[in-house]
Amino acid sequence: MSTAIAPAPMKPESPAGREDWHRAVMAVLPGLLAAIFLAALDQTVMSASIKTIADDLGGLSLQAWVTTAFLITSTVTTPLYGKLSDVYGRRPMFAVAITVFVLGSLACVFATTIYQLAAFRAVQGLGAGGLLAVSSAITGDLVPPRERARFQGYTMLAWLAASLIGPLVGGLFASTGTLLGIDGWRWIFLFNVPVGAIAMAVVLRVLRTEGPRTARRVDHWGAALITATAVPLLLVAEQGHERGWTSTEALVCYAIGAAGLLAFLLRESRMGDDALIPLRLFRVPAFTLSMTISALFGAGMFGVISTIPLYVQVVHGLSPTASGLMMLPMMGGTLVSVVISGKVVKRGQGLRVLPAVGAVATAAGLITCARLSVDTPVWVMALIMIAFGVGIGTSRSLNVTAQNAVPKKDLGVATSTTIFFREMSGAVGVAAYLSLLFAAFPAALSAAVARVAAQPGVALLLRDREVAGDPANQPFFTVLRGGRAPLTDSSFLASMDDRLARAFQLAFHEAASHVFVAGAVLMGLAAVLALAMRPPDLQIVPAVQPEEYFGRHRAPDTD
């Protein structure tokens, strides 16, 4: 009696296997990049158009909820998509994410109130949570760990393109009254439809099978409890600096989040391998450390970077458009560091050193920012942004470490968990830094006023009620009395008395310095943890062979 022997899968290190593997990756890559581009674009396109949209829908005071609703749903659904893609396969969950996102975009087109737009943006977020999580998991399946960092250069190009195109597209459509009988800003959401169609076409044509799947129970209660944990904390993170961190609403959110977290941990410990986020993964040191470091990068870096545009507008007098262009050097540093990181990781090295180098470079940039002065040329800040880009690019190797440290069956949940904690910590970081900035600003402004009051005529200027009543100077005195409303738009500095504007800029720089130092401390901690990490050796074969994804022994043609 003979036993049939299955043909050995082609390995990427052999010429034939590498050709098969490369064709598989290149066949699915357009769909992955389209999905990543969608997720990134929707976060940047709104920045230049939200005011126009809010004015048109009559909800300027509620515009923050349009962003908050998307952030909440996209964040809390990320781990759910990762787990479900492990259970039911990447293909169906990727298709679900694209479909929900496109339907949410179409719904946004027909919004007639700011409340409807916020609700439809929440639907968009339900799809967006899976775009990045599942596309990253597919990349983890098909691309060997040693090659994975190099292929992240393609995904970074998608992010960079979205970062550049998003504000331009948003501003262009927002400034257009009507186009083909449709309000200009509504085309922002229609723009998502053809891009989503490209991603869906690749899913249906290329991913012929469902890919990896395992028979497990679905942890519905775990999904509900992680939502109950994350949503209150995200609400506080988004609204706390306006409503107060110790307000009744904030305290209720803290209590609900803490209770949800405790219940979630108890539930996950009972579910074992079927848990939404199996707790056994946290017993793998390399996974736990890589996720912790990634979270520190999210809080320490992205929280600080979110304050840079406001900083250069207030301190250096740049316009919103010019402050956006300040991100270009950072994007350049990101792209170059991703390419270099890919080459290093391909040799099976750098998983400890790369994030440590990125954290040190970011910390050095933040300390330099804290030591600048109001009179420092703005091009110096542009050079510092390159260091931030290096931090972002090198931190991408943490995704490779997390995926490489867990069994193949957990690749999806490991990927989505890392993304989830990075997004959560980034939101908390932004909130914490804004709180620190606004908390330090009143005292810094009082000190700056005391310094400039010694100049001839300034003391009289501050005491003169007629000057104080000048509309051009009113924002200064509003902030001096503790108000925050003028800080949302720094254009008032151009028409204010030069001496008062100088005091305002000095104070803002002093307050921002506290933020930069706090970020540097977190980045220093990330560097120490990165050097303490002991990641396992990188695999040279993909987690899933191409034939498992495409249902045959050769990948589909890309032409």
Residues 234 and 213 in one domain: no
Which range, of 122-136, 174-188, 406-420, averages the lowest pLDDT? 174-188
Tokens (6 digits) for 289: 């450390």
* Residue-level pLDDT at 363: 92
396: tokens are 């991408």
493-502 confidence digits (pLDDT tens): 666 767 777 7
227 and 167 within one domain: no
Q: What angle do CA 247, 306, 132 make, to 5 degrees?
A: 100
Residue that terminates a domain, selected from 275, 299, 322: 275
Cβ neighbors of 15 (< 8 A, separation 6 or more) are: none
Say whether both 193 and 224 belong to one domain: no
* Residue 255 and residue 175 share a domain: no
89 shares its domain with 210: yes
Average pLDDT on 27-36 reads 78
pLDDT at 554: 45
User: Do 54 and 152 fall within a single domain?
Assistant: yes
3-state SS assignment for residue 111: coil
Contact present, 489 and 339 (Cβ < 8 Å): no
Contact 521, 370 (CB under 8 A): no
Same domain membership, residue 87 and residue 159: yes
Q: Which residue has the higher pLDDT, 52 or 78?
A: 78
68/105 same-domain check = yes
Which range marks the domain in which residue 466 is found?
441-514
379 compared with 142, residue with greater pLDDT: 379
Residue 395 lies in a domain: no
The last residue of one of the domains, among 217, 235, 259, is: 217
Number of independent structural domains in the chain? 3
**415 domain residue, yes or no:** no
Is the pLDDT assigned to residue 486 strictly greater than 80?
Answer: no
In sequence order, what are the beta bridge partners of 183? 178
What does the alpha-carbon distance between residue 415 and residue 88 come to, in Å, rounded to a whole number? 16
> pTM of the predicted model, to two decimals?
0.77
Cβ distance 150 to 95 under 8 Å? Answer: no
Q: Mean pLDDT, the chain, as a whole number?
A: 76
181: phi > 0 → left, psi -120 to 50 → alpha, else beta; which?
left
Whether 496 is in a domain gets the answer yes
Token pair for 333: 């540093």
Percent of the chain surpassing pLDDT 70: 72
| Domain C-terminal end among 275, 310, 341 | 275
Separation between Cα atoms, residue 432 and residue 295, nearest integer Å: 14
